[in-house]
Amino acid sequence: MRSLRDKLSPLLGGTAASAVGAAANAAVGAVVDAAGAAGAAGAAGAAAHPPASLSRISAECVKQLHESELVRAASTPPPRHSPCAAGCNHRAPRTPAVSMPHAACAQVRADSISLHPGLQRACAADRERLCPGVPASGGAVMNCLAAHHSDTLLVAECRVKLHEYAARQVADFRLNPALAAACAADIVNSSCGALRLGGGHVLGCLLEREEQLTSADCRRHVAKMGRLVTAEAAFNTPLFHACAAHLADGGLCARGVLGLPAYPAPANGALLSCLKHNASRLEGSCAAEVAKLMATQARDVLYNPRLVRACGYEIHEPRFCGGVEHGGGAVLACLEEKRTRPGFSFKCAAVPAAC
């Protein structure tokens, strides 16, 4: 099986068909590969296919994708006589019955709310409340709603849909077109390019290598996704699967054990805090993933949502840690150093850095 590095290399600097739209072109032109279709919707990895041109997707096909719910399942073929059939039914020789354009369709869909009809319906009221005036194109609405995924006033069904959307993006970087385009070179030129697609492995690798990433735009997008990964257990795909037994009903850190409301109510980091608190009792892959989480949070306070909530003033106030450069644990060290100074809030001082 070819590595992600092999599949991405020929596509760097490539251009996609103009019919797909500027946002998708930028991402797909850099990182789309034919293997993406099988793993795009299910975030489960895929077989490797030779790269193919997005020019196979006609303007009429793209129009139909925007006007129907055909792309609800990226792996579901279009009707035989639809405008998409010629491109989306193309298959590489001697490969599984998976079509390259479905990967592209999934990526075109990724940041456009009009192509997420279930989410669009569920979040209509929240969109009006949280994102008034935000343009519908370019993924702006999806980004706005995703930024409010922990809002306590979200409609329950909207919260579920947003969690599903965020979890898919975390699990498969290809469903985040902006990150995919910005990080293409860093993926290809690092060990991240050899990892299995899906399962959050590539994003996890980028997050671990954050300070070595060469693209400032890539670092920005990775940091944004990193704040999701470190906020809720469900968004940290490798950890969530590795620690499933401890998070399930009756487990060491189950919602019921912690007195948390049932899903989809946000856990606000409580599940992750429980795993960290019990790190010495964990074993195997769960222990390894929790250690990675703790290392990430020790590097930058922004990856510790409880500290951010408790210490927002101190983090930004020049008298304390405002102006301290993030990364390398510098802000955490600053908070620890200045926690006894006058004006430092009790709320912040009471939260240990390892929470």
Q: Which residues contact 351 (CB under 8 A, 6 or more apart)?
A: 306, 307, 310, 311
| Torsion angle (degrees, nearest 10) of CA 10, 16, 21, 22 | 60
Q: How high does pLDDT run on average in the chain?
A: 74
Give the pLDDT confidence score for residue 8 in this predicted structure: 53
Encoded amino acid at 219, one letter: R
For residue 252 the two structure tokens come to 């060491």
Sign of the alpha-carbon torsion through 278, 283, 284, 288: positive
Separation CA 197–CA 178 (nearest Å): 17
For 205-234, give one letter per residue: b (16+ CB within 10 A) or e.
Answer: bbbbebeebeeeebbebbbbbbbbbbbbbb
CB atoms < 10 A from the CB of 239, how many?
26
Question: Shortest CA distance to 54 belongs to which of 36, 28, 75, 30?
Answer: 28
Tens of pLDDT, residues 287-327? 999 999 999 999 998 898 888 889 999 999 999 999 998 88
Domain ranges of the chain: 4-115+166-229, 230-297, 300-355
Does the pTM surpass 0.75? The reply is no
Exposed, middle or buried: residue 128 (CB in 10 Å: 0-12, 13-18, 19+)?
exposed
Tens of pLDDT, residues 289-299? 999 999 999 99
For residue 184 the two structure tokens come to 């293409």
Question: If you search the block for the tokens 């599984």, which residue do you land on?
Answer: 96
Where the chain has pLDDT below 70, the residues are 1-111, 137-138, 264, 353-355
DSSP 115: G
Cα distances from 245 to residues 140, 144, 251, 252, 291, in angstroms, run: 37, 33, 6, 8, 17
Encoded amino acid at 318, one letter: P
